[in-house]
A and B are shown apart, each in its own frame.
Chain A
Amino acid sequence: QTVVTQEPSLSVSPGGTVTFTCGLSSDSVSTRHYPSWYQQTPGQAPRTLVYSTNTRSSGVPDRFSGSIFGNKAALTIRGAQADDESVYYCVLYMGSGIRVFGGGTRLTVL
């Protein structure tokens, strides 16, 4: 069974930089997994931030960026703001056609 791993929680100071990672339990993440990233606040539908590793969705500010970092996908927020406090999810496309979400990372801005 495919397991996509994310940090359970991260914290960042206002104005600071934070990086989330998205890994696979039994493989390296690469661009062939087309990693994408989503932000969700309580009671709301997810919002798409980045897809295909590093393409920002329409309207997403450039302080959000995606990349491959080592053997994982990464989402970096620069200049963190209070309203960035959310849960962040990654999704990986597996060769079999299934999509798999990571468990999500709760970001605290303090």
Chain B
Amino acid sequence: EVQLVESGGALVQPGGSLRLSCAASGFTFSTYGLNWVRQAPGKGLEWLTYISGGSSTIFYADSVKGRFTISRNNADKSLSLQMNSLRDEDTAVYYCASEYNYGSGFNYWGQGTQVTVSS
């Protein structure tokens, strides 16, 4: 069974940092691209960032470029999102989602982890 399990969500002050993780199982991790997607309270889904299976290709949405960093460890089957300079508007549920090929969409999703940025 495919599983993606996010962790690391917390309450953090504006300007602070947080590192999210996503643990994967049940599929050939290194052959899949991975994404982070978030959803602010009462809002729609927002794509944030993508990393290829071998980490050679990375893309960011403008809203997080320069503040967030995606990385992965294929040996551990884990994905990370380092979030710096957090703002109130970064408050959201953060999902990791896998992507088999370019254009194949987000085929597997985790259940999400809550990040709250507030003083």
Residues of chain A whose beta carbon lies under 8 Å from any beta carbon of chain B: 1, 34, 36, 38, 40, 45-48, 50-52, 57, 87, 89, 91, 93, 96-104
- Chain A interface: which of B21-29, B42-50, B83-91? B42-50
Asked if A36 contacts B45 (CB within 8 A), the reply is: no
Asked if A36 contacts B59 (CB within 8 A), the reply is: no
A100-B47 contact, Cβ under 8 Å, with A45-B95, A45-B110, A45-B112 = yes
A-B contacts, 20 listed (Cβ < 8 Å):
A38-B106, A45-B95, A45-B111, A46-B45, A46-B97, A47-B109, A51-B104, A89-B44, A89-B45, A91-B106, A93-B103, A96-B59, A97-B57, A97-B59, A98-B59, A98-B60, A99-B47, A99-B50, A101-B37, A104-B45
Instruction: Please list the 7 inter-chain residue pairs (A to B) with the smallest Cβ-Cβ separation, ordered nearest first.
Output: A51-B105, A34-B103, A36-B105, A97-B59, A99-B47, A104-B44, A45-B109
Per DSSP, chain B at the interface is loop
Number of A-B contacts (CB under 8 A): 66
Range of interface residues on B (Cβ < 8 Å)? 20 to 34
Asked if B107 contacts A51 (CB within 8 A), the reply is: yes
Residue of B nearest to A53 (CB): B103
Residue of B nearest to A93 (CB): B103
**Which residues does chain B contribute within 8 Å of A97, judged by CB atoms?**
50, 57, 59
**Which residues does chain B contribute within 8 Å of A104, judged by CB atoms?**
44-45
The listed residue with most B CB atoms (<10 A of its CB), out of A46, A96, A100, is A46
